[in-house]
Amino acid sequence: MATSYWLDRSSDHKAKTFDILIVGGGITGASTAFWLKKEDPNLKIAILEKSRLAFGASGRNAGFITCGSVEHFNRMVSKHGEAQALEIWKFAETNMSLLKEHIIENEKSLEFEQRGAYSLAAESAEFNELKSVAQLMNRLNIGNEVLGSDQVEKRLGAFGFEGGIRYLKDGAINPYKLVKKIFDKSGCEFFDQTEVFAIESSTAGDRIVKTDNGVFHASIVVLCTNGYSGNLSSYFKDKIYPTRGQIMMVEPVEPFMDGPCYANFYLDYFRQLADGSLLIGGFRQLEKETEVGYSDHITDVIQSALHDFVQKHLPRFKDKKITHRWAGIMGFSQDGEPMIGALPEDNQVFFCGGFTGHGIGLAFHSGKCLSDLIFGHPIPEWISARRFP
């Protein structure tokens, strides 16, 4: 893509110069800006966003701040080994403590709550697996609590589950307000309605970033475009897959649910917001073939499945009206963990993405790692893009 002189909206057609340009105004872009400025307050940094703040997945998610990863902890151990699975879990716990220390000062203003999160099993096989997860976690001193079906009904008003597990440190938040607060605290500039379509090298050695809102120069460019990254570099084509997630919301009832919940191996999820409304998402597994790509349309199959789940498991919302439906694009990585690095073809272009549906629980800490990498500090091997050939 390219923009003609006539459609270029920059008023003076003169290049704007910064030290670092961040592409993407979601939680990763805002977090990276925050940490870079913390490391060096004199840096001149701008975020370039094709639409508006948190327009991507960051403004369309469920707001769970989850520790761990995209699957039950025993499966993380099988995949990564015990030491690394524990390191990943602790990384997410640190994400939460960093957020609390630097951003979530007034819990009410961000609608933050930390009462733990639940993972529920409708089948006995999954419940048995969760019980073994609890044993493993107890051995590793990760706080958890196993619940039978009666406790699930009592605390969550959720029926038809064999039982579940509660992870004690998890929480939930208003994700848009979170991104806004991180960005406001970063002290960086923000250019909305500014789509980047090319990054080129100048003879002077800096990078020329071409957008539909003028030309920008910087010595370093950082891609925080997650699911959209494949549009900017072919490097991401086989590394970060754009994957759609859908959500439905139901009108409020008297608040009764103790905390946010996952079900069915993390694939489906729901939470009751402070005003009593229900947010429910998931069921991507029903349309695996079509829940990929950049379209953010909702589909009948998944929206019907979300509705059926409410009818079956959450009777207090049974006859309530649906108020919102939406979809967003996530970036799935090959192994489910985020990746941070510099492009092999250009070591002045850095990136962070591939959160595989868990960026709210990982991006603030990942932004710190990305800043560390740019400043030449070491970052954990499991999050480094060097793990992929």
Site residues (vs ligand FAD, CB under 6 A): 23-29, 48-51, 55-58, 60-64, 66, 195-196, 224-228, 231-232, 245, 247, 281, 328, 330, 353, 355, 357-361, 363
Shortest distance in whole angstroms from residue 103 CB to ligand FAD: 15
Contact between residue 262 and residue 118 where contact means Cβ atoms under 8 Å apart: yes
Rounded to the nearest whole angstrom, what is the least distance from the CB of residue 143 to ligand FAD in the complex?
A: 19
Q: What is the DSSP string of 348-363?
A: EEEEEE--TT-GGGTH
Rounded to whole angstroms, what are the CA distances from 275 to 111, 158, 271? 10, 18, 11
Residues 201, 343: Cα–Cα separation, whole Å:
13
In angstroms, give the least distance from the CB of 196 to ligand FAD: 4
- Which single residue is written with the structure tokens 């009462």? 115
Question: Measured from the CB of residue 135, what is the shortest distance to ligand FAD in angstroms?
Answer: 26
Nearer to ligand FAD, 23 or 130 (CB): 23
For residue 296, the minimal CB distance to ligand FAD (Å) is 8
DSSP-assigned letters across all residues of 28-60: HHHHHHHHHHHH-TT--EEEE-SSSTT-SGGGT
Shortest Å, Cβ 124 to ligand FAD:
27
Minimum separation from the CB atom of position 208 to ligand FAD (A): 15
Nearer to ligand FAD, 132 or 198 (CB): 198
Q: Answer for the pair 250, 323: CB distance below 8 angstroms, yes or no.
A: yes
Whole-angstrom Cα distance, residue 28 to residue 14? 28
* Minimum CB distance to ligand FAD smaller for 55 or for 382: 55
Query: Minimal distance in Å, beta carbon 33 to ligand FAD?
Result: 11
The strand ranges marked E within the chain are: 16-17, 20-23, 45-48, 64-65, 117-121, 144-148, 163-167, 171-172, 189-191, 196-201, 207-211, 214-218, 220-223, 240-250, 261-263, 268-272, 278-281, 322-333, 339-343, 346-353
The smaller minimum CB distance to ligand FAD, of residues 186 and 225, is found at 225
Name which of 130 and 360 has its Cβ closer to ligand FAD: 360
DSSP per residue, 85-140: HHHHHHHHHHHHHHHHHHT-SSTTTTT-B-S-EEEEESSHHHHHHHHHHHHHHHHT
21 DSSP β-pair partners: 46, 221
